[in-house]
A and B are shown apart, each in its own frame.
Chain A
């Protein structure tokens, strides 16, 4: 079974500062993927960044980077130079494998989320 844990229900950060959102995971799959999604107050789910379990380097996408520590089973999201528009709920998710008709497909397991508030 797979599990994603986000231990920070809420985080606060000053505008223009960096913030780290924590995510730990548990899986017995040798191959998996880790994702971060942003959910603003409007409700949509926005894909931010992806890290594969075999990727050697940490993923980066603009101001977002994923601090992947495989031995510790952690995949923390780092947002640099926070902006007011970054205020939102952030979800960490893991893609595991499920079997259908003998073939494996990706399934996302989500953490409970962290609410980030950026102060001016």
Chain B
């Protein structure tokens, strides 16, 4: 089991560019989540999904979009990147309440 995998590990974007952060899990979990972690802070929920085809906004959804066409994949799309989106992004999946996290993607917008 690879668990939760994320790509890329690091990325530098210019202001206004777009990109997709990939997240895949092989545990057949229905619930998946995207968080961002700003320096020295805890994680904040961006979007979540409770199954294929079902997504909803978390605390800080502005500037992001998601889709969930399969159980395994939950990509996060950044449109028109802004410096405020510089952060570490974590994807997680859960079963039985415990969330298992991917290794994170460190994104810098300059």
Chain A residues engaging chain B, CB cutoff 8 angstroms = 4, 33, 35, 37, 43-47, 50, 91, 93, 95, 98, 100-101, 103, 105-108, 110-113
Chain B residues contacting A112 (CB-CB under 8 Å) are 40-42
Q: Which residues of B contact A (CB under 8 A)?
A: 31, 33, 40-45, 48, 50, 54, 56, 58, 88, 90, 92, 94, 97-101, 103-104, 106
Question: Which of A43, A108, A111 neighbours the largest number of chain B CB atoms within 10 Å of its CB?
Answer: A108
Number of A-B contacts defined by CB within 8 Å = 62
Complex Cα–Cα for A107 and B94 (A):
10
Q: Is the interface of A mostly helix, strand, loop or mixed?
A: strand
Q: Which residues of A contact B90 (CB under 8 A)?
A: 45
Known: A110-B43, A111-B42, A112-B42. A105 touches B103 (CB 8 A): no
CB of A101 within 8 A of CB of B98, answer no
**Which residues of chain B have C-beta atoms less than 8 A from A108's C-beta?**
33, 43, 45, 99
For B94, what are the chain A residues with a Cβ–Cβ distance below 8 Å?
106
Kindly list chain B residues whose C-beta atoms are within 8 Å of the C-beta of A4. Answer: 42
Residue from B58, B104, B106 within 8 A of A107 (CB atoms): B58
* Complex Cα–Cα for A105 and B33 (A): 12
Residues of A within 8 A of B101 (CB): 37, 44-47
